[in-house]
Chains A and B, each alone.
Chain A
Amino acid sequence: MYSVIHGIVLAVACLVVIVPLGYLIINSIKLPREFLTIPPTILPTEVTFEHYQDLIDDKKTVRYFQNSLTVSVWTTGVTILTGTLAAYGLARMRLSAKILALVTFIFLFIRFYPRVTTVIPFFLVMRQLDLLDTVWAIIIGQLGITIPFVTWLMLVVFQDLPSEIEEAAIVDGASVWQRFSRVVLPIVMPSVSAAAILTAFLSWNEFLIASSVARRKASVLSIAVASFVSDKGIQWGPMAAMSVVMIVPMIVFALFAQKYLIRGITFGAVKG
């Protein structure tokens, strides 16, 4: 009985996710005249791949794709590396609670300050560093958001870790780096995977920073998606096609990271 309800609940949840996404895919292969029909067109009378063809034919799409990929890979890589290390450092430094709270607080303050009001000064900083219209400007801007998040997330995880786990390694004379990489990291791998997934998603879709410091060579996919909304209406078909194109790499990444998430869980279970 329980497993039946369990199954039904999960099926409903999956439907709530899949139906809108399926509709997005259908929209990407619909003819323009079938977008606003009453009732809505669920099965298009004619399937068209023109929206995808247009995207592929446009050289700019390829460049946006490369830029988005560069930004996401760097942002995720640097964030996970520095954020996890920083969290471990903060957790093991035996700082007084007040100082620890203060450092975390500064990080979070920077994380949550409305970016809208720092767009112009950030633009000036990037101009000073001669980084305008480069992917580095976007990456640096995004790191200001992602590193504090990952640091805090991992800080909570490290603090919850029983100290006995490391004691044996300390007694064996392992260095901090060895303790971190060989003992602690495998155990917290599920959380690291989750943080990496979240960071990659955020970076891939981030719009405001990208649009304010990179509008020409370094433009990215999220800006391209927004550009289908103009002052006189929405180009539904191309927008849907672009959204689908944007989703695919992230699904691949999520599957990949999930594998690590699982491995981390099983490893943790063996260890624990």
Chain B
Amino acid sequence: MIPAWHYDGQSATRHEVSVVAQEDGLRLDLGDGQTGLAPWADLFWIDKRDGASVFGRRGVNGWRVGIPLPMTDLLARRLPPQSIYGGLVDKFGIWPSVAGFTALSAAVVLILWKAPDLVAPLVPMSWEQKMGDAMIGDLGGRICDGAEGQKALDALVRRIDPEAGHLRVRIVNVDMVNAAALPGGQIVVFRGLLQEAKNPDELAGVLGHEIGHVRNRDVMQAMLRQAGLTLLMGGVGGDVGGALNSAISASYSRAAESRADGYAINLMRAANVSPIPTAQFFDRLAEDERKLGKGAIAMSYMSSHPLSEARRKVFMASARKDAAYAPAVTPQQWRAIVDACANDPDVEEGDLF
């Protein structure tokens, strides 16, 4: 018989009781010949309070018994152990749990990083097209769709990729030096990039690279990866503006980038367009970056397509000495592309967001 205190969960009155360990449970002697029995399996540890261990009973809200410490061996053996961190962690111990959780988290991150490569090809093309259309719709009137400019741009695209029938390349009236592949074979070139480019061959290299992303189905992959990371960060994004944002700033894996470069180089070789201007274009952008600093280039071509010396060299090296390169489009067509936004009377100007 060990003296203890007890709340029955019915009223706030505190009862002085005595407890005995029995085979089938903890027996409470409530006085006046009344007893109660709490099966061992129903008891759970709550805390240590005023020199007593406090236990609750499953299924009886507010039922408490406080047994003074130190407890007899018999009671200590039968009563549930102290809980510190919560069920699972207490079961395995803190350090094994930390190790286990770390491994699990690493696996989750790895899966979220790798799964897009496997899942992206399974996304039906029709879904991708719908997403792309929604993003283009989001740009609204900011697309420079004057007939002249669009025709010249289409000519340039066909020149470097004769099989580009299903691709839709558009110019967007946003002053940003960038170009991006969106889902569903949509490619957007921002006005700033056209103003920065000196000739059509420079644009041809940039477009060839984006066409490479479309053909390799990199866009969906990068977007899924981005979504996975966003999920991890606990943020929940999902509006079209956010999706458009992520498509533009999506970072492709290094391998995807160099595959897209390779694709562009092949296209240009087949089309007999010189890769040297593209290399020079990269050079100029890299120079700007050095001058302006990192902060100034957020959301620009340099931030979404990190320019490395290696990339420039690949384009440079792919030039053939004996080739008779021809400009990607005529000077008139080039003017029409560059001035596409200026010549579109009903285009809206604006920032992206």
Real complex partners, A and B?
A: no
